[in-house]
């Protein structure tokens, strides 16, 4: 019996083609709530970004944000895992030597050193305003949960990771990557949330479409890739549903008899 379902946002709940959540998905989420099945967001996004998205009329039990590094519900923080301060010091020195746009993400705040065309392109692609400008040195005195470099090559990825030996990364756009703690990830956040709710892995399902969803889809009992996911994500999933714009979530939930309408 499924007791908890985890949903990625971009390309899973939110269509960037229509700039909205499909009506069939909204209907499905309402039915799941009425049945007492917990629904959770599992995203790489920050709480401030989520508030700017057209998700206001959707209600979730909790949120796994920043790729699992910051998890909370209406009662407060369930789990958090900041980046090693030594890694932050080293990446700051590296940016001073070889500048590139970079976001530092705190629990309630995120800021970037500067904007360029690459930043504008990426933010437009995810239907999100440009991040506020700020001094990255703030990261020396505040916990940083995620670092997001923009406008870097594959070669630069490796240079950056050498500065942050306690971290891992995923590329979510041709022009941007997410850097998080080595032992982090959506799957880690999900395990902590399940522990808090006393729910077993056997009672879980998840939907995703991006590279940062792969570990999540492998972890849960039933991992479902959206039809618009790339091949690597589809191969990691237990099954593939239809495209987000063709009622993919609704069809999968109906297939598993979690909704009957």
* Residues with catalytic roles: 8
Distances (CA, A) of 114 to 118, 164, 231: 11, 21, 34
Q: Dihedral (C-alpha) 201, 207, 210, 214: value to the nearest 10 degrees?
A: 20
Backbone angles phi, psi at 150, to 5 degrees: -120, 160
Q: Dihedral (C-alpha) 74, 215, 185, 61: value to the nearest 10 degrees?
A: 0
How far apart CA 176 and CA 166 sit, in angstroms, is 19
How, if at all, do strands 62-65 and 38-42 pair? parallel
Q: Dihedral (C-alpha) 95, 99, 103, 106: value to the nearest 10 degrees?
A: 30
Contact at 8 Å (CB) between 102 and 95? yes
CA 92 remoteness from chain centre: 24
Give strand pairing partners of 41.
Answer: 7, 63
User: Cβ–Cβ contacts within 10 Å for residue 95, how many?
Assistant: 18
Contact at 8 Å (CB) between 228 and 241? no
């Amino acid at each position: 019996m499924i007791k908890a379902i985890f949903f990625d946002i971009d390309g899973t709940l939110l269509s960037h083609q229509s700039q909205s959540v499909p009506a069939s998905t909204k209907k499905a989420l309402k039915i799941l709530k009425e049945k007492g099945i917990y629904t959770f967001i599992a995203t790489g996004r920050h709480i401030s970004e989520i508030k700017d998205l057209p998700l206001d009329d959707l209600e979730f039990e909790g949120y796994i944000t920043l790729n699992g590094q910051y998890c909370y519900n209406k009662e407060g923080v369930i789990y958090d895992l900041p980046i090693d301060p030594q890694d932050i010091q080293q990446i700051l020195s590296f940016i001073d030597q070889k500048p590139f746009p970079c976001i530092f993400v705190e629990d309630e705040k995120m800021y970037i050193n500067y904007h360029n065309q690459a930043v504008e392109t990426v933010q437009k692609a995810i239907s999100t305003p440009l991040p506020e400008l700020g001094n990255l040195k703030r990261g020396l005195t505040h916990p940083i949960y995620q670092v997001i470099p923009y406008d870097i090559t594959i070669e630069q990825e490796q240079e950056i990771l050498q500065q942050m030996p306690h971290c891992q990364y995923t590329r979510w756009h041709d022009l941007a990557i997410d850097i998080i703690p080595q032992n982090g990830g959506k799957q880690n956040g999900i395990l902590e949330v399940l522990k808090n709710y006393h729910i077993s892995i056997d009672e879980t399902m998840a939907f995703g479409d991006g590279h940062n969803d792969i570990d999540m889809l492998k972890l849960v009992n039933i991992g479902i890739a959206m039809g618009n996911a790339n091949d690597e994500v589809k191969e990691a999933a237990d099954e593939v549903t239809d495209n987000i714009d063709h009622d993919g979530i609704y069809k999968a939930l109906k297939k598993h008899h979690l909704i009957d309408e």
